[in-house]
Every structure is written in C-alpha cells, then in structure tokens.
Amino acid sequence: MQCFKTVLTAWARRIACVASLLIALIFTAGLAATAEAKMNIQEVTSPGGIKAWLVESRQVPLIAMRFAFSGGAVQDSDGKEGIANFVSGMLDEGAGDLKSVDFQERQEELAARMSFEAGRDMFTGNFQTLTRNAKEATDLLHLALTKPRFDADAVDRIKKQILTGLKFDQNDPRRVASKEWFKLAFKGHPYARPVKGTMASVATIDRTDLSEFVRKVFTRDTLKVAVVGDIDAKALGPLLDKVFGDLPASSDLKPIAEAKPPAGPQRKVIEMNVPQSVAVFGHGGFKRKDKDFVSSYVLNYILGGGGFNSRLTEEVREKRGLAYSVYSYLSPYRHAAIYAGNVATENKSMTRSLEVIEDELKRMAEKGPSAEELKNAKQYLTGSYPLRFDTSSKIASQLMWIQIEDLGIDYIDTRNSKIEDVTLQDIRRVAKRLLKADGLIVTIVGKPMGAAGKPKKG
C-alpha cells in the first residue's frame, strides 16, 4: 500500500521524510561488506519455538526483518476478492490503544518503517528500525500483527484509496491484459481472481472480513522470518517471541487445489481506445522444485529475460523495430507455475510482433541457444547475484524467500554452482519441454489491426 498516509500531519511528514532518507542511506551504505564476504546465516529458535534466519551485521546500528505467512489472496472469501490486499493497507492504520494518526506518528518518531504486501500465495511484511529504538518499534509491530483496530473511519478511507486505484487500473492496458490473462489461464481457480479485487468485491469488504483474514492467516505454524543487522542470536530469540509469540499456533487456511493453465492456442482481445496495444502471452511453466527449473531460468534469460541481451528484444525490437518493450519471465507459484511475457507496440504492429515472438519460441524449442549465448547468460546471472545482497533489507528478503521456497540454508553458497552446471544439452532439452509456441494463451488490450485476435494454428 501507499508509503505515506494522507492523515499524517505536516510535522509527521517532515519527520518521515528525514527518517526514511536517513535509514535508506545507511542501509545502502552499510551492508556492502556483508555482501562481499561469505554470509554467515544462523538458524535461531526463540524460547517460544519461533524459528528465524539471522545474519549479524554490526557495521551500522540498524535491524531489518522480513517475514511471511502462507495464505495471500487465495484465501480471500468468494465474492469478496481483495481482502488480503485490503489488510495489507490497514495494519499501520491503528493498533491496540493507538488510533491511525497516533500509530503513524509514533512510528515516525522512532524512525521505524513497516509495510505489508499481499501476493497470491503469501502475505509478507517488511520492518526496519534503528537498534536503539528496537524495543519500542517492535512493540508497534507486535500491535499491528496482533491487535489491528480496523476503525470504521480508517476502513472507509483505505477502501476509497483502493477503489480509486482499481478505477485507474481499468484504464491501464498492461494491468487489464495481465488480469484477463490470469482469468483465461486459471479459470475456476483462485489464481484467476485479481489480488486487488474488483470494484464490486472491495465495496463489500468490512471490518469483520479483515479481522477474519488476520485470524486465520497470521499464525505461527506457517511463519517464515529473516533478520539482518545489529542484533545477535541471544537477543533475537526474545524479540521473536515478543513480536510473534501471541499469534495463534495453527492456521485455518482453506485448501487450494493444484492448477495448470490449459493448452492453447487461446486469444482474447479487450478493446481499449489507446494508440498502442499491449499483449500478455504465456503458458504453463515449471515449479521451483522441478528438476529443470534452474535450466529454464537460464533459458529464459537468453530468450526474453535478459533485456537488450535477449533474443526477443533483438528480433522484435532491434531487427524489426516492432516494439519498444518485449520480455518474458518465469513465475513459480505454490500451486502452479507459468512462463509468460509481455509486448507493447503500435496497434498496427501487434499481429506481426506476436508472429515474431511465436517464431522465436519455436526456433528456440527446436534448436536451443548457442554455446556463446549460454556462456554469456551464465556469466551475467552468476556475476550479478551479489547485487541482491547489497543492503540489509535485500538480504532479509532473499533469506525469507529461500525459506518460503524451501531451498536450504546453504542455497546462497550453492546457487551459482547450480547455474554453472547447466549444460548446452540440458538447456536444449528443457527448451523442448518448456516452450510451446503453438500453445500460447494471449490477451491483447487495445485496437490491434489485422489478425492479432486469431491464434496461430500449428
């Protein structure tokens, strides 16, 4: 949700800007040494049994925490899509005895930051504080997670902000194309529903819905925590119990079925009076634990994930000048996985752009990449990996997702070797397995000319 709430006083806004800038500068500058050195990740268990991964860094007096609960938007009630997202905007809108303005002003006085985000499968939190303010700041975080107020005036205000955002999204071709793609790819499954909800569903959400989501999702049994900064294992244990110890022991999540996007080709055109069309294309992919995921990750960099170094950019943009933006990506969810991409171009060029994309996918599936392309991809993917660890917040985020994906506490040390081990034979085999040029699900928003709305057969 938004970083600053409209209810902040002018005084609080000034304090917030100064504090946020100070924290950002220190966090960015202070963790370079940690990123360069081999990271010492400790698994800490609190006296109450809460586990966390810790990286101590004493360069600066700051603590960063990232945490997650299983159960994001897939746990929204039917007909009330958007509850998880709504909750993410409400947790700093008052908790315990502190109403919204009081809570946020206290947060800024302490130079602490907290934010929350709802994904499809997970609900995540981000918390940062100066070491000297850790006791008071973690008191606020504990209140936000265990005693959110959900006052009527705050609920109404955040609801209006969400509805305004949804109205804006209705005129954003990229967001519309993505939303419609998920509807086609996951029809009848919770993944088909928009994370933010709809104008109609959000309008029905009330305080009871928000409280019920917190009750069933914010529990210790699915909690993952990563902490980086100026704290040791002995001090972290009691802090974990203080923040999370009062949460219920067990979740009450509804079961979610496995999902698989249907085989294409499928195309849907959503008319919008804009000069440039946007298309989302894709099909099923590999889940994170699939034996071929790493190879598919390298393959995607070569094909569409490597920016100006990717084949799609070279073929669609550089050689033919059809589009300014074209890319692809992998998204492994908990109950499904996709390989997808996006292209934006003039209405008159959409048909040809999709033809080139399909031809390139087909060529890659048939022949795979060259040895030189594989070599360059490996060099970039291994060489750029340390950039994910140049601040404490980034390190905490990486550690949290490694836990969520169950990759092992040694993953940071072994990740690059897994990429180096990918052979040309591996990647060519995986290209044949993954890429289905004639099986794409495509959604197009705009007024594409020609046959863009008709899927290419065979």
The CATH number of residue 230's host domain is: 3.30.830.10
pLDDT in tens, 129-150: 999 999 999 999 999 999 999 9
Rg (CA), the chain: 23
**130 and 111 Cβ atoms separated by less than 8 Å:** yes
Q: If you count them, how many residues does the chain have?
A: 458
Residue 401 in this model has a pLDDT that exceeds 50: yes
Same domain as 441, residue 368: yes
- Closest CA relative to residue 20, chosen from 157, 116, 134, 115: 115
Domain stops at, among 182, 209, 244: 244
Segment among 18-27, 91-100, 193-202, 287-296 with least mean pLDDT: 18-27
Average pLDDT, the chain: 92
pLDDT at 454 over 90: no
**Chosen domain end from 244, 274, 293:** 244
In a domain, 255, yes or no: no
**Does 284 have pLDDT greater than 50?**
yes
The whole-angstrom separation of Cα 258 and Cα 279 is 26
Domain that holds residue 375: 266-446
Note whether 300 and 215 are same-domain residues.
no
Q: Which residues pair with 267 in a beta bridge?
A: 442
- Of 244, 277, 305, which one is at a domain's C-terminal end? 244
Does some domain include residue 347?
yes
Residue 176 lies inside a defined structural domain of this protein: yes
pLDDT at 336 over 60: yes
Percent with pLDDT over 70 in the chain: 90
In a domain, residue 192? The reply is yes
What integer pLDDT is reported at residue 18 of this predicted model? 42
What pLDDT score does 263 carry?
Answer: 87
Report residue 249: phi and psi, to 5°: -70, -35
| pLDDT at site 324 | 87
Question: Do residue 277 and residue 373 come from a single domain?
Answer: yes
Give the predicted TM-score (pTM) of the model. 0.90
Is residue 384 in a domain? yes
Looking at residue 451, its pLDDT comes to: 66
Q: Which pLDDT does position 264 carry in this prediction? A: 84
